Amino acid sequence: MRYEIKGGSFPIVICNLENGEKMITEKGSMVWMSPNMEMQTIGGGLGKMFSKAFSGESMFQNHYTARGGAGMIAFGSSFPGQIKVLNIAPGREMIVQKSAFLAGEAGVELSIHFQRKLGAGLFAGEGFIMQRLSGCGTAFVEIDGDLIEYELKPRQSIVVDTGNVAGFEPSVQMDIQQVRGAKNIFFGGEGLFNTVLTGPGRIWLQTMPIYNVANAIRPYIPTSSD
């Protein structure tokens, strides 16, 4: 599989496949393709489908296969930002926000990643349930806004607003920290909790979480009157 990322704020990735090569996606991210690309919607087995339903993810995957010769398919982002390329292999897995996965080669495996710590599980909200990318192959993930990357040393921590966590290596520990001080909680406008990421490992932070944008425009959306 050969690929090319194009576009600005709304990027796309164009994948050129050899006969028989396959791409997978969990959502309606296909934007165009050659006529010989065959689509098949597949469930992941009862256990996987149940876990996906619990997490709010789609219970099915779309598989696109080039038939009768080379094929082309393009996947587009759903929000202004970037498309990041991940080369997944044993020992090179990645944990990403649950809406991040855009598409990947057939060897890439997706599973639900739950935070093991009680604090993270109870208070992280959307950050509690993430996606784990494992297996072997190239994967493409969406980043909301721009991407900032840090390499944390052992026991080195950083405090992040939960929505700004785009992904991290499995070696990184995630926990939740309550904002201190009643005045800060009620008048600071930053919410009750922040996410704490502790190394060692690589972390990705995104600058424009989609829910922040939604909250910003909500006051300007007209509401219907009774």
Q: Which domains does the chain have, with CATH numbers?
A: 2-220 (3.60.160.10)
Contact 7, 1 (CB under 8 A): no
Peptide bond between residue 200 and the one before it cis (omega within 30 degrees of 0)? yes
* pLDDT in the model for residue 177: 80
Contacts of 111 (CB under 8 A, 6+ apart): 48, 51, 131, 132, 134
Q: How would you write the pLDDT of the chain (226 residues) with one tens digit per residue? A: 999 999 888 999 999 999 999 999 987 899 999 999 999 998 754 345 445 554 445 567 899 999 999 999 999 988 889 999 999 999 999 999 888 999 999 999 988 877 655 444 444 444 467 889 999 999 999 999 999 999 999 999 999 988 899 999 999 998 888 765 444 444 444 556 788 999 999 999 999 887 677 666 777 778 765 4
CA dist list (Å): 115 to 26, 69, 121, 123, 169: 22, 43, 6, 11, 13
Whole-number percent of the chain with pLDDT over 70: 76
Write the pLDDT tens digit of every residue in 133-171: 999 999 999 999 999 999 999 999 999 988 899 999 999
Instruction: Tell me the sheet residues that pair with 101.
Output: 141
Q: What number of other Cβ atoms are within 10 A of residue 182's Cβ?
A: 8
* pLDDT in the model for residue 85: 96
DSSP 8-class letter at 53: H
Long-range contact set of residues 181-190: C-beta below 8 Å, sequence gap at least 24: 190/161
Q: H-type helices in the chain, by residue range?
A: 46-55, 118-123, 182-187, 210-217
Write the pLDDT tens digit of every residue in 177-198: 876 544 444 444 455 678 899 9
This prediction has a pTM of: 0.82
**Dmax (CA) of the chain:** 66
